Chain A
């Protein structure tokens, strides 16, 4: 079932109390981001008139794509943390993550009037630092709008249980 929306996860969800995790970030809700269930770490930014950047072009703002990919990169790290905890057969610790730096290259302008999908994958997660990449497109992942590369600091406390 493609692109079925559900309540968005927030990137801190593995670390945050459950009730917070179910809610999504205030910003992702305000911008109408929807979590996509048919891929690992994907969200969609709807096309909305108030999300337009330059009104001359009429496309979704580059800043919205940044926020979308920041959010999906956080999801990818949350998932990597969950996978790591599962592989080490331990409970997930509490804590969060903080973006160190985030680079976004705009490959081309988004199509005016089109929703934008963002995806991300965690390339490597060490003790403290996660390296992620993200990409955005309308329909075809092979025709990307923008590419992100980012590093996050993991502030999650190590779990006591082994």
Chain B
């Protein structure tokens, strides 16, 4: 398996600008702000689809870091606060890693880790 990370290899991840950054307790996913990511120009706030894509990519990158290639089966995203026009961070936890499927939980935040903007729960098919 190539050790080029998933976030570098997936064109859509590059388009959004998602990358991993070193955190105190291991890597966190980073989505730098860009004006094209806006969904609500009045607030302004990031597009809900961008927030979801970022959370999903953080989950897939987490599995990738464990050497597992995966495909999304289903995700549910809870939107907790408007995601403003600043950098967004996400941390993914593997709740279960089975032979065929994995369950992950991802939380995203902006300035304050204790005030998450969105949370994802999802199932991912393990491809190899």
Q: Which residues does A use to contact B, with CB under 8 Å? A: 10-12, 16, 20, 23, 25-30, 49-56, 61-64, 66-71, 96, 98-106, 109
Q: Name the distance in Å between B8's Cβ and chain A's nearest Cβ.
A: 11
Chain B 76-106 against A: per-residue CB contact (8 Å), 1 yes, 0 no? Answer: 1111001000000000000000000000000
Q: Name the distance in Å between B75's Cβ and chain A's nearest Cβ.
A: 6
Residues of B within 8 A of A10 (CB): 39
Asked if A70 and B47 make an inter-chain contact with CB atoms under 8 angstroms apart, the answer reads: yes
Complexed CA–CA distance, A3 and B69 (Å): 35
> Mostly helix, strand, loop or mixed at chain A's interface?
mixed
Q: Name the distance in Å between B48's Cβ and chain A's nearest Cβ.
A: 5
Given contacts A30-B36, A63-B57, A103-B74, contact A55 B49 (CB under 8 A): no
Asked if B41 and A25 make an inter-chain contact with CB atoms under 8 angstroms apart, the answer reads: yes
Given contacts A12-B42, A26-B36, A30-B36, contact A53 B12 (CB under 8 A): yes
Q: Name the distance in Å between A94's Cβ and chain B's nearest Cβ.
A: 10
Residues of B within 8 A of A50 (CB): 11-12, 14-15
Asked if B74 and A98 make an inter-chain contact with CB atoms under 8 angstroms apart, the answer reads: no
Asked if B48 and A99 make an inter-chain contact with CB atoms under 8 angstroms apart, the answer reads: yes
Asked if B74 and A106 make an inter-chain contact with CB atoms under 8 angstroms apart, the answer reads: yes
Asked if B71 and A109 make an inter-chain contact with CB atoms under 8 angstroms apart, the answer reads: yes
Asked if A101 and B78 make an inter-chain contact with CB atoms under 8 angstroms apart, the answer reads: yes
Residues of A within 8 A of B10 (CB): 52-55, 61
Residues of A within 8 A of B50 (CB): 27, 67
Question: Can you pick out 8 interface pairs between chain A and chain B where the beta carbons lie within 8 Å of each other?
Answer: A20-B42, A25-B40, A51-B11, A54-B69, A66-B56, A67-B49, A100-B78, A104-B52
Residues of B within 8 A of A28 (CB): 47
Q: Which residue of A lies closest to B76 (CB)?
A: A103
Q: Does B35 contact A (CB under 8 A)?
A: yes
Residues of A within 8 A of B47 (CB): 25-28, 67, 70-71
